[in-house]
Amino acid sequence: MGLEEKLSEKNSPFRSKCERIIAGIFSKYQIKFEYEKTQVILGKNCKIIEFHPDFYLPKHRIYLEYFGKYKDETEEHYWKRVRSKEEIYRRNGIRVASIYYSEMWPSGKKGVLRKNFEQFLMYKIFN
């Protein structure tokens, strides 16, 4: 199966259009990644949990987390969810680059991708 087929909505292993776009950019620049690689970490209340970060870039030893927004999710709930997940990364000493919904879709609507998103993504990861 070719990359275009893997990245098509019908055959995609990715959970969202946004993750497919990010995977496509990584593939375009030949950046090897692992998708939703299982990690066993300390969660809330020091419980051991399985965690599935969106992307892991083994050569660069960094995770990338895309924080999408659910259709009817309030801004308050969205940022509470983001802060909670980022706290898990921080508590476990995990190096992560975060991409927020508003950074990828500045108009607030999927379909109008941020201008120069590829460059923005690389900046977030490598700086």
The parent domain of residue 101 ranges over 14-126
Low-confidence ranges of the chain (pLDDT < 70): 1-12, 15, 107-112
Confidence at residue 110, expressed as pLDDT on a 0 to 100 scale: 62
Confidence at residue 3, expressed as pLDDT on a 0 to 100 scale: 46
Inside any domain, residue 117:
yes
Inside any domain, residue 6:
no
Q: Which pLDDT tens digit goes with each residue over 24-58?
A: 999 999 999 999 988 888 777 778 888 888 999 99
Confidence at residue 52, expressed as pLDDT on a 0 to 100 scale: 87
Inside any domain, residue 95:
yes
Q: Can you give the three-state secondary structure of the chain, one letter per residue? A: CCHHHHHCCCCCCCCCHHHHHHHHHHHHCCCCCEECCCEEEECHHHCEEEECCCEEECCCCEEEEEECCCCCCCHHHHHHHHHHHHHHHHHCCCCEEEEEHHHHCCCCCCCCCCCCHHHHHHHHHHC
Confidence at residue 112, expressed as pLDDT on a 0 to 100 scale: 62
Domain with residue 99: its CATH number is: 3.40.960.10
Confidence at residue 2, expressed as pLDDT on a 0 to 100 scale: 45
Inside any domain, residue 56:
yes
Inside any domain, residue 4:
no
- Count of structural domains, the chain: 1
